[in-house]
């Protein structure tokens, strides 16, 4: 082989070697980009990364990323970059893009192939244009107006479709003005860079689809949870909005914890995933109430079941009074027939009047005991039982003034619930834990059942359902517990109590802190940070706010 031939062969080998090395570097870079894209979960950063990497691979001076809207009717601008014009909009730039979306269809419903971006989206075909001023078939009025207004010169353009695994178009990547790395002059996009961008677009579509799927699943989860919460609140007109208010209180306390630079929480910092975990736990803390009967949740008086049985008691006492009147009339008739004196008959009538007044007092006392705000001491309980022991005639038999069940309810010392009913209410925490424990939460949300199911536990172990003590209660559960108690105390829509003043609610929480029923440090932060005042201004009636 002659020297000339050897030189040619060597040169060819060297050229191929350079090409192979460049290809290897590009493939390696694509692999790195693919890994980076697949690990990014922030959709704004992902949008920005797609354009950044595409421009880096091709040397493009500018780039635009469009995303198909949910209805599939137009392309939304999400990223707009131009180095020459020093423009970066969308993504993490903090600058929103105000340009109108590109329609995929005309007003009469026909496909819009006039715009190159919409054409690429509709056809799924890549378009490589050396010079937009010489190209035919597309409307480049927009770029030309931009050039005229800014002095920029749009030349080469590469527009690439982004499709998901089902072949649906999800976006369009548009690159403008490829720059020669040696001279900096604008050139056409080379076949090699076109192939690289096509590969990048495929990787980006996969990453974007995954991120959108995760986002959509998260939206679905939140929407489902909020729908369940609203359904639970809607079971009772008296608790509507309870869950939403507890969520707000819980997150305000958690954010205050994060803001502490000193004190017991200076080393505590909930990250975004932990805040999300707590927020979802707050939304679902009462999910177990879906099994709680409405008549127990809504029990506004002691005698209430499906309806307030106080009316039955009132009618019964009226019947007893009528029975006494009938008995009096019969006695007076018999006395008159027997020729008894007027004085004896008058004494009989006065005796009846005294008995009637006594009956009215007994009725009023019993009805007063029906109020959950009426604390029942031993003397009141004994009087209820004494009244219940009395009998009256009905259809030839003697019936008690009050039934056993009425006595059991009327002698509730505090509130409106019997022990059995209280257990029914408390069972919602058991059901909450059981329901949430069956759900396959991802690892980052795995503690939701613990946080949600423990909001009625107390530090001293006297809470329910599991009688957990302080060492077993995570901070998130303690925060949720304070939020739940404070909302319940200050709520103005409960049927069994009057709206409580803010100062009284804080006093009760102070007692609970002293008794180790709630976390003292969480309570102190809640009060000292003024979180209770912020909540009161937003949620309470003005007459409840008596604490500055």
Residue 111 is classified by DSSP as: B
Cβ pair 161, 169 in contact under 8 A = yes
Give the dihedral of Cα atoms 483, 487, 489, 492; nearest 10 deg.
170
Of 121, 109, 248, 98, nearest in space to 173 by CA: 121
CA angle 331, 333, 336 (to 5 degrees): 110
- By the 10 Å C-beta count (0-12 exposed, 13-18 middle, 19+ buried), 507 is classed as middle
Distance CA 487, CA 539 (A): 10
**CB neighbours of residue 298 within 10 Å:** 18
pLDDT attached to residue 13: 42
Cα angle 283, 289, 295; round to 5: 140
Interaxial angle between packed helices 272-284 and 242-258, expressed in degrees from 0 to 180 and rounded to the nearest 10: 160
Cross-strand bridge partners of residue 90 = 79
Model confidence pLDDT, tens digit, residues 6-18:
343 334 444 555 5
Assigned token pair, 423: 């257990």
All residues at 6 or more sequence positions from 359 whose CB lies less than 8 Å from its CB, including other chains: 317, 320, 321, 324
pLDDT digits (tens, 9 = 90+) for 378-410: 999 999 999 999 999 888 899 999 999 999 999
Report pLDDT digits (tens) over 242-277. Answer: 888 999 999 999 999 999 999 999 999 999 999 999
What gap in Å lies between CA 242 and CA 232, rounded to an integer? 10
Task: Cite the DSSP H helix spans in 81-160.
Answer: 116-123, 141-150
pLDDT at 264: 95
- Give the Cα separation of 131 and 135 in Å (integer): 6
Query: What is the longest distance spanned by two Cα atoms in the chain?
Result: 162
pLDDT at 20: 53
Distance (Å, whole) CA 385 – CA 28: 88
Closest CA to 498 of 489, 510, 509: 489
Residues lower than pLDDT 70 in the chain: 1-41, 236-240, 493-497, 547-548
- Closest CA relative to residue 98, chosen from 76, 121, 72: 76
Task: From 419, 391, 417, 413, select the one nearest 403 (Cα to Cα).
Answer: 391
Nearby residues of 404 by Cβ (< 8 Å), 6 or more positions away: none
Reduce the DSSP state of residue 237 to 3 states and report it: coil
């Amino acid at each position: 082989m002659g020297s000339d031939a050897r030189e040619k062969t060597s040169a060819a080998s060297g050229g191929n070697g350079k090409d192979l090395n460049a290809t290897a570097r590009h493939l390696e870079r694509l692999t790195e980009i693919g890994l980076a894209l697949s690990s990014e979960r922030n959709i704004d950063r992902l949008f920005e990364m797609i354009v950044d990497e595409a421009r880096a691979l091709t040397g493009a001076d500018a780039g635009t990323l469009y995303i198909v809207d949910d209805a599939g009717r137009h392309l939304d601008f999400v990223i707009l970059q131009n180095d020459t014009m020093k423009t970066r909009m969308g993504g993490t730039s903090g600058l929103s893009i105000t340009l109108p979306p590109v329609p995929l269809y005309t007003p009469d419903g026909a496909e819009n192939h006039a715009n190159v971006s919409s054409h690429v989206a509709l056809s799924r075909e890549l378009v490589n244009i050396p010079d937009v001023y010489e190209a035919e078939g597309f409307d480049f009025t927009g770029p030309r107006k931009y050039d005229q207004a800014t002095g920029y010169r749009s030349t080469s353009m590469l527009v690439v479709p982004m499709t998901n695994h089902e072949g649906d178009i999800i976006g369009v990547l548009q690159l403008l003005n490829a720059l020669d790395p040696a001279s900096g002059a604008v050139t056409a996009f080379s076949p090699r860079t076109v192939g690289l961008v096509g590969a990048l677009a495929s990787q980006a579509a996969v990453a974007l689809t995954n991120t959108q799927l995760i986002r959509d699943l998260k939206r679905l989860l939140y929407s489902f949870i909020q729908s369940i919460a609203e359904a639970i609140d809607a079971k009772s007109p008296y608790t509507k909005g309870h869950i939403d208010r507890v969520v707000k209180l819980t997150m305000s306390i958690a954010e205050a914890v994060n803001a502490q630079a000193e004190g017991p929480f200076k080393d505590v910092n909930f990250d975004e995933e932990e805040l999300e975990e707590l927020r979802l736990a707050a939304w679902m803390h009462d999910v177990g109430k879906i099994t709680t009967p409405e008549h127990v949740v809504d029990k506004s008086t002691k005698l209430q079941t499906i309806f307030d049985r106080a009316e039955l008691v009132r009618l019964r006492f009226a019947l007893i009074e009528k029975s006494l009147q009938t008995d009096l009339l019969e006695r007076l008739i018999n006395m008159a027939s027997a020729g008894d004196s007027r004085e004896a008959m008058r004494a009989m009538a006065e005796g009846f009047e005294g008995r009637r007044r006594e009956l009215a007092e007994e009725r009023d006392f019993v009805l007063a005991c029906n109020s959950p705000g009426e604390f029942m001491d031993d003397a009141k309980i004994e009087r209820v039982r004494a009244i219940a022991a009395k009998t009256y005639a009905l259809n030839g038999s003697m019936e008690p003034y009050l039934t056993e069940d009425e006595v059991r309810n009327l002698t509730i010392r505090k509130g409106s619930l019997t022990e059995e009913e209280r257990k029914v209410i408390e069972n919602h925490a058991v059901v909450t834990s059981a329901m949430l424990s069956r759900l396959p939460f991802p690892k980052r949300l795995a503690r939701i059942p613990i946080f949600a199911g423990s909001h009625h536990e107390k530090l001293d172990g006297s809470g329910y359902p599991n009688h957990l003590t302080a060492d077993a209660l995570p901070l998130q559960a303690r925060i949720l517990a304070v939020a739940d108690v404070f909302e319940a105390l200050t709520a103005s829509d409960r049927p069994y109590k009057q709206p409580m003043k803010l100062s009284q609610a804080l006093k009760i929480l102070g007692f609970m802190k002293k008794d180790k029923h709630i976390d003292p440090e969480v309570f102190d932060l809640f009060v000292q940070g003024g979180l209770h005042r912020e909540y009161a201004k937003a949620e309470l009636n003005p007459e409840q706010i008596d604490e500055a």
